Amino acid sequence: MGEESEASAGSNLSKTPAPEEGREPPEEKEHLYAPEDPEPAVERPSQPTSDQEMPLADHIEEMIKRLAVVLIIAGVVSVVTLPFAERVINFLWYSVLPVDPTTRPRLYHPLALVMTELKVASLAGVLIALPVMVYQTYLFMRPGLYPNERRYYLAAVPTSLVLAFVGVSFAHFLILPAIFTYFLSYTDNAAVVDVAFGLTKTFDLILMMMGVLAVVFQIPLLIMLAIMMGLTTRKWLADKRLYFWSGFLGFSFLFSPDPTGMAPFLVALTMVGLFEGTLLLLKWTGR
């Protein structure tokens, strides 16, 4: 009897009590880190992994060094092209002015020719230094850029050089002939004066227009870079177009030495055309 009572008691202890009527059985607790759970998605880091904190003095020092590289390359190119500057002067002069004894350049200062040659060589240095400046800017910003942003910047280096030469060609073949044709129309019927073209003033205008348009033709590249890197959007630029147009007009009057307003008007019109053309291309491509 004793053994049977102990066995029955043991069997009763091993049994799970039946749930009462009207009450649901207790749910099993889920493991917080079950092995079958999928791994959490890896989020994109808030900043590039190569980005490191640097003191402000180190940033300024690095920026000065990279600017020095641009200036050195521009100086070397200027020195190399200086012996050919006189040929360039003759070519550019008679490309935008009619070949005539009255249009021969006049020297009103003993160093006028030398100074003009230095300006021509400097323009060549600026053209070559433009893509170098873009590349040095890329190196300065590289630690803080994501891989796709780095590709955009590297692609901008040769593009900058191409756009600079397109701007110079645009000035040489279209803008400068139109400007000088307009200038000569003032004195076509002047019987009381003889027109003389001073080398310094006339060539300053030629070089200024070429240099300005080399920079102006960087507008599409700058807009593309800003949008690709997420700094702005096409819609924002389109909404603020009147502000940009006003800035273009002020820039053109500041850097176009023409009191008649013809040259600034053409430069401003070119800038607006590049700006609007880039926005139209972006809209067409769906960006």
pLDDT digit string, tens, across residues 235-281: 999 999 999 999 999 998 887 767 777 888 899 999 999 999 999 98
pLDDT digit string, tens, across residues 156-172: 778 888 898 899 999 99
Please check whether residue 130 is in contact with residue 160, taking contact to mean a CB–CB distance below 8 angstroms: yes
Most confident of 19-28, 42-51, 262-271: 262-271
The band of 141, judged by pLDDT with boundaries at 50, 70 and 90, is confident
In angstroms, how far is the first alpha carbon of the chain from the final one? 91
pLDDT digit string, tens, across residues 89-118: 988 888 888 777 777 888 888 888 999 999
The residue type at 47: Q
What sign has the CA pseudo-torsion 147, 155, 273, 182? Answer: positive
pLDDT computed for residue 9 by the predictor: 45
Element (H, E) at 55: none
Q: How far is CA 151 from CA 102, 148, 265, in A?
A: 53, 5, 36
pLDDT computed for residue 108 by the predictor: 86
Which one is predicted more confidently, 173 or 34?
Answer: 173
Does residue 45 surpass a pLDDT of 60?
Answer: no
The overall average pLDDT reported for the chain is: 79
Report the C-alpha dihedral over residues 161, 162, 168, 171, rounded to 10 degrees. Answer: -140
